[in-house]
Structure 1
Amino acid sequence: MTDTNLKDSGILYVVATPIGHLDDISYRAVEVLKNCDLILCEDTRHSKRLLQNYNITTATRSLHAHNEHHISASILAQIKQGSHMALISDAGTPLISDPGFPLIEQAHQQGIKVMPIPGASAVIALLSVAGLPVQPFTFHGFIPPKKNQRLAFYQSLLPLNQTHVFYESSHRIAKSLVDLSTILDSEARVCVGRELTKRFEHIYSGNAEEVSQQIQESTNHQKGEFVIAVSGRISSATLTLNDDTQKLALLLKPLMAPKQAASVVAEHHGANKKQVYEFIINSSND
């Protein structure tokens, strides 16, 4: 290894792997995977293609959601005895909606060195091309599968004071975007990445209704893996509230909860309560 002598002490490497295109892996990641003692895979069968492509012959072991709580202790014991291990997921950066949290948590508790080997991430890949503000953004992982829960989740995002990113499955994407279009107004922006870095990669962009229609145009548009980013017009409230309304909102902000203050201001000045709420929330960042 160029940066760490593997014979000094046990290290747990967290290695990002490609999300689709096999070339999207760093030289350092390949070197770590070739030289460590064991590779912990979400699915050894899935990872076999990547490892064979780079002539990586290191032994593998499965670590997934159904066994990680049971085998983490034995894995960490081996690392403490001097073994060097690499954790990979089926695609992308481990722990981003993937198994591995109990292992990493316990490693830190036991003073074991955990070293990141960065690389591909579907979330970051989409945000880099979405054309949406990303400071700040919140990543939610996979959203609830049932319609009522999904609608409640979408409703909880309002007002859109930042960008929200989440995953959705192929068999729910069409219905999910229809639900999203019933919650968001036409000003909110949506970007969907399908099969990022793969042969049939496609980026859909527009408001929720427009993107929903694009996805529904063909069943082929509903195949693959999806990342969704949603963002509002963060500063729009300040463009429509007059000076008196803004002054009262700022006066009440330290005195009561934002929703309560927004209700009082909206009633007193006949303003839009949602816009007042957005102004109060965003003014805290000035």
Structure 2
Amino acid sequence: MNEIGTLYVVATPIGNLGDISQRALDTLQKVDAIAAEDTRHSVGLLRHFGISKPLLAVHEHNEQQSAQGLIKKLQAGESIALVTDAGTPAVSDPGAVVVQAVRQAGIKVVPVPGASAVIAALSAAGIVQSGFYFDGFLPASGSQRRKRLQSLKAIPTTLVFYEAPHRIVECVQDMQDVLGGARQLTLARELTKTFETIHSCLLTDAVDWLNADLNQQRGEFVLLVHPDLQEKPEGLDEETLRILKRLLQELPLKQAVALATDITGQKKNELYEAALALKAASPQSQGNEP
């Protein structure tokens, strides 16, 4: 009976081919096959390093089906390397479905770490505050993107996103509108490539900077929104209280608080306490559901 194979999750360069690790090269050389996001892209990488292996296409549209095929090969004793076009598989890239299925099948998964656009951007941004929250790509829809940003607004650490060139200006504008123009933004563009750019500015100035040179709108972006260091006044602001009062006029307390939390991004407990106080101060609301 064949010994079960191993799935290796192999990070590849995000731009500069010199960033590949020796361990990654050794792994790609020894496996029986390589599962790639885009076989046309990966064949160029492999050819550059003199590696010739069977390539299996595993992308976002066939990942579930491909996972079962890979499991059969692994159970038959083959070892397989999983790669994406750039960086680490399964991190805002195809691969997570495959890794999950393989692990659930009881097959060993071994990470071979390497280049990461998130870590590269953070290392060069000079953000002193520790910790970060990585959210990947924001929704393509403007309304959904703003809603997502609103839900992240209260997180007290660096917010990290990926963004594509054709959405960069509208995305940054939404960040300014939702998160406030006073927060610092670092735009890391084309990391490790010829036209790498790492620029920090206030969110209120970011759109103008992008529009001043259209070349700065090209390539792949990592966006780092620095922590909000402004002191916040105690209690809820007037706009939040206005929204909460209006919702309480139409909805039961719990529903009003839940919707106000979604709209304002404020903490649910604070809104609940405020809602109780507003209800207590409003005689006409005595009969409403608590």
Q: Same fold (TM over 0.5)?
A: yes
Question: Which residue is 1:257 aligned to?
Answer: 269
1:22 aligns with 2:22: no
Q: Report % sequence identity.
A: 41
Counterpart code for 2:193:
K
2:207 aligned to 206, 209, 212, which one?
A: 212
CA distance, structure 2, for counterparts of residue 160 and residue 207 of structure 1: 18
Matches within 5 A, 1:95-174: 95-133=90-128, 135-174=130-169
CA distance, structure 2, for counterparts of residue 261 and residue 126 of structure 1: 40
Question: Which residue is 2:180 aligned to?
Answer: 185
CA distance, structure 1, for counterparts of residue 115 and residue 129 of structure 2: 17
TM superposition shift of 1:37: 0.2
Contact 2:3 2:76 (8 Å CA) reproduced: no
CA distance, structure 2, for counterparts of residue 36 and residue 13 of structure 1: 9
Q: How many residues align?
A: 244
Matches within 5 A, 1:36-75: 36-75=31-70
Secondary structure of 2:7's partner?
strand
CA distance, structure 2, for counterparts of residue 108 and residue 135 of structure 1: 32
Contact 1:127 1:134 (8 Å CA) reproduced: no
TM superposition shift of 1:9: 4.5
Question: Which residue is 2:196 aligned to?
Answer: 201
TM superposition shift of 1:8: 6.2
CA distance, structure 1, for counterparts of residue 143 and residue 9 of structure 2: 36
Secondary structure of 2:153's partner?
coil
Secondary structure of 1:31's partner?
helix
Counterpart code for 1:76:
I
Quick check: 63-72 or 158-167, which moved more? 158-167
Counterpart code for 2:270:
P
Unaligned runs of 5+ residues in structure 2 are: 235-267, 278-290
Quick check: 72-81 or 28-37, which moved more? 72-81
Deviations 1:234-284 (A, max 9, x none): 4734xx76xxxxxxxxxxxxxx8134457899xxxxxxxxxxxxxxxxxxx
Unaligned runs of 5+ residues in structure 1 are: 1-6, 242-255, 266-286
1:82 aligns with 2:82: no
TM superposition shift of 1:231: 2.2
Counterpart code for 2:132:
F
CA distance, structure 2, for counterparts of residue 261 and residue 160 of structure 1: 21
TM-score, structure 2 as length reference: 0.78
Deviations 1:167-205 (A, max 9, x none): 111011012112222223343111111101100000121
CA distance, structure 1, for counterparts of residue 190 and residue 132 of structure 2: 21
Q: 1:134 to 1:44 in 2, by over 3 A?
A: farther
Deviations 1:116-139 (A, max 9, x none): 000001111111111225643221
CA distance, structure 2, for counterparts of residue 46 and residue 203 of structure 1: 26
Q: 1:133 to 1:259 in 2, by over 3 A?
A: farther
Question: Which residue is 1:249 aligned to?
Answer: none
CA distance, structure 2, for counterparts of residue 198 and residue 90 of structure 1: 14
Contact 1:204 1:211 (8 Å CA) reproduced: no
Contact 2:129 2:227 (8 Å CA) reproduced: no
Counterpart code for 2:161:
F
CA distance, structure 2, for counterparts of residue 119 and residue 56 of structure 1: 18
Secondary structure of 1:139's partner?
strand
CA distance, structure 2, for counterparts of residue 262 and residue 46 of structure 1: 56
Deviations 1:1-22 (A, max 9, x none): xxxxxx9641100000000001
